[in-house]
Amino acid sequence: MARTLTNWAGNVEFEARRLHRPASVAELRALVAANDRVRALGAGHSFNRIADTSGVLVSLDDLLPCVIDVDPGRRTVRVGGGVRLAELCAELRRHGLALPNLPSTPHFSVAGAVATGTHGSGDGNGTLAAGVSSVELVTADGSQVVLSRGEDDLEGAVTSLGALGIVEALTFDLRPGFEVEQYVYEGLPWSALVDHLDGIYSAAYSVSAFTDWDGSLRLWVKRRTGDPLPDLTWTGARPADGPRHPIDGMPVANATGQLGVPGPWDERLPHFRAGFMPSVGDELQSEYFVPRADAAEAVKALRELRAFISPVLQVGEIRSIAADTAWLSPSHGRDSIAFHFTWIADPSAVAPVLLRIEAALAPFGVRPHWGKLSSMDPGTVAASYEHGHRFRELLGRLDAAGKFRNELIDSYFPSDL
Ligand SMILES: Cc1cc2nc3c(=O)[nH]c(=O)nc-3n(C[C@H](O)[C@H](O)[C@H](O)COP(=O)(O)OP(=O)(O)OC[C@H]3O[C@@H](n4cnc5c(N)ncnc54)[C@H](O)[C@@H]3O)c2cc1C
């Protein structure tokens, strides 16, 4: 009997009963052409049904050759969609090159992360999709479509929610490798965050606040070596006296190096180390993006909900993301602050809290993370993207029969059929 397939967190049982693992691009194309319903699965780290299909689920993990082609002259890399961020980072480092920013952990597949608008923190850093200059898709009839910078459709094809086809490869812009030092500050007063949010988030290359939304508020500050040394004691916070894990009680060894010890970009920008358990494991996640200009008011609105949030929360994180141009990037067209929640693994306890949060953030034109839990009305979410109608048109054009659609995609971008 076929084994049940689940996502990483175990809260989603996929409808598809088998994971196909083509060994070559030719096999992948034939598989796509021969089936009515297909979706790609990356590392399975999304918390909702975005990767699911009633048909054939495809992993690129066994695809050969494993493509990571660095072009040092042009400072670009062409990378296979199934490659994990950690593998990509290791290869870039060997060439003295870097991505501008990384999410909290490098365990994701490159294509899965880009498809959902995955991001880290930093006033000058967009989502991972912001650095993509070309997308190579296997489309519904098994043929290849390449969309590159300069073509309008590229902005629709990067954060594609996996709905346009199977991403065989992506090309990223790179920059010279750099070192980063990480400092943790504790005891930040809430009033300082609300009154000086811009000053705090602009203090370094990447700044995150971790909180239980009740008492504790900690800053994780990542400075590029050579940039001015941030001193955030003016906020009332004090430097931590030892290394910390973002979540109290979890092993510090799983977290990336702190106390200002310089390290390569890919060993400091994520919070969690490659090869170690990221986050908690037994958890659910949600994340909501609001325009930067509304962030302080949004913090106040969420603080009002702390009696509901804290009992079901493992940790919250507040990050800053620069505006970008991908049609479905959650920070499309607006510098954003994102409120992330790592919940306890109890969907029924978390669901009513999501409703309260979504109601509290509704006045700010909130957009949920595509790969995390939300109960927002899909029509309202789609309408918050000014190019949502163009994405729907692109879907119809590249996948007229709806091969790569699933229930989640249909709810946001109904088919015209
Ligand atoms: C511990 C943990 C920490 C996290 N931290 C962050 C964070 O810091 N920042 C953040 O923004 N998010 C974060 N997330 C969410 C995560 O980044 C997204 O869920 C991301 O999509 C996961 O990548 P994946 O490879 O697991 O994709 P999957 O969940 O496997 O797939 C996501 C989507 O991509 C599509 N897809 C995957 N591969 C392909 C392909 N080759 N071609 C076409 N479509 C494809 C799938 O069909 C699906 O629609 C975190 C999740 C976890 C579990």
Q: Is residue 12 helix, strand or coil?
A: coil
pLDDT band of 2, cuts 50, 70, 90: low
Q: Is the pLDDT of residue 219 over 50?
A: yes
- Report the nearest-CA residue for atom 40 of ligand 1: 167
pLDDT band of 196, cuts 50, 70, 90: very high
- Report the nearest-CA residue for atom 5 of ligand 1: 104
pLDDT computed for residue 17 by the predictor: 81
The pair of structure tokens assigned to 19 is 């994971």
Provide the whole-model pTM. Answer: 0.97
Helix ranges restricted to H, 47-147: 85-94, 110-115
Q: Which of 29, 38, 39, 118 to mutate to test the pocket of ligand 1 (most atoms within 8 A of CB)?
A: 118
CATH number of 68-176+385-411: 3.30.465.10
pLDDT tens-place string over residues 309-349: 999 999 999 999 999 999 999 999 999 999 999 999 999 99
- Report the nearest-CA residue for atom 7 of ligand 1: 103
For residue 87, the number of C-alpha atoms closer than 13 Å in the C-beta half-sphere is 14
Mean pLDDT for 366-387 is 98
> E-assigned strands of 312-405?
313-321, 336-343, 367-368
Q: Which of 109, 146, 222 to mutate to test the pocket of ligand 1 (most atoms within 8 A of CB)?
A: 109
Q: What architecture (CATH level 2) is domain 179-376?
A: 2-Layer Sandwich (3.30)
The answer, yes or no, to whether any atom of ligand 1 lies below 6 A from the CB of 105, is: yes
pLDDT tens-place string over residues 221-274: 999 999 999 999 999 999 999 999 998 888 999 999 999 999 999 999 999 987
- CA–chain centroid gap for 322, Å, is 14
pLDDT tens-place string over residues 377-394: 999 999 999 999 999 999
The pair of structure tokens assigned to 198 is 């811009």
pLDDT computed for residue 3 by the predictor: 63
**What are the residue ranges spanned by the domains of the chain?**
68-176+385-411, 179-376
Cα distance between residue 277 and residue 102, in whole Å: 17
The answer, yes or no, to whether any atom of ligand 1 lies below 6 A from the CB of 167, is: yes
Q: Which of 6, 41, 127, 409 to mutate to test the pocket of ligand 1 (most atoms within 8 A of CB)?
A: 41
Q: What are phi and psi of 193, to 5 degrees?
A: -65, -45
H/E element, 98: strand 97-98
- Rounded to the nearest whole angstrom, what is the distance from the C-alpha of residue 228 to the centroid of ligand 1? 33
- Rounded to the nearest whole angstrom, what is the distance from the C-alpha of residue 241 to the centroid of ligand 1? 34
> Among the atoms of ligand 1, which is closest to the Cα of residue 60?
41
pLDDT band of 4, cuts 50, 70, 90: confident
- Rounded to the nearest whole angstrom, what is the distance from the C-alpha of residue 238 to the centroid of ligand 1? 34
- Report the nearest-CA residue for atom 44 of ligand 1: 162
- Rounded to the nearest whole angstrom, what is the distance from the C-alpha of residue 51 to the centroid of ligand 1? 9
Provide the sign of the torsion angle of the four alpha carbons 95, 100, 104, 107, taken in this order: negative
Which residue in 152, 136, 165, 151 sits closest to 401, CA to CA? 165
Same fold, 68-176+385-411 and 179-376: no
- Report the nearest-CA residue for atom 27 of ligand 1: 112
- Rounded to the nearest whole angstrom, what is the distance from the C-alpha of residue 275 to the centroid of ligand 1? 17
pLDDT computed for residue 63 by the predictor: 95
The answer, yes or no, to whether any atom of ligand 1 lies below 6 A from the CB of 125, is: no
pLDDT computed for residue 366 by the predictor: 98
pLDDT tens-place string over residues 26-75: 999 999 999 999 999 999 999 999 999 999 999 999 999 899 999 999 99
**pLDDT exceeding 70 applies to what percent of the chain?**
99
Q: Is the pLDDT of residue 1 over 80?
A: no
> Among the atoms of ligand 1, which is closest to the Cα of residue 43?
26
pLDDT computed for residue 248 by the predictor: 85
Instruction: Name the pairing type of β-strands 238-239 and 56-59.
Output: unpaired
pLDDT computed for residue 159 by the predictor: 98
Cα distance between residue 153 and residue 399, in whole Å: 14
- Rounded to the nearest whole angstrom, what is the distance from the C-alpha of residue 370 to the centroid of ligand 1? 9
- Rounded to the nearest whole angstrom, what is the distance from the C-alpha of residue 194 to the centroid of ligand 1? 31
pLDDT tens-place string over residues 149-190: 999 899 999 999 999 999 999 999 999 999 999 999 999 999
- Rounded to the nearest whole angstrom, what is the distance from the C-alpha of residue 118 to the centroid of ligand 1? 7
pLDDT computed for residue 276 by the predictor: 72
Cα distance between residue 392 and residue 388, in whole Å: 6
Q: Residue type for 361, please?
A: L
Instruction: Name the pairing type of β-strands 56-59 and 38-41.
Output: parallel
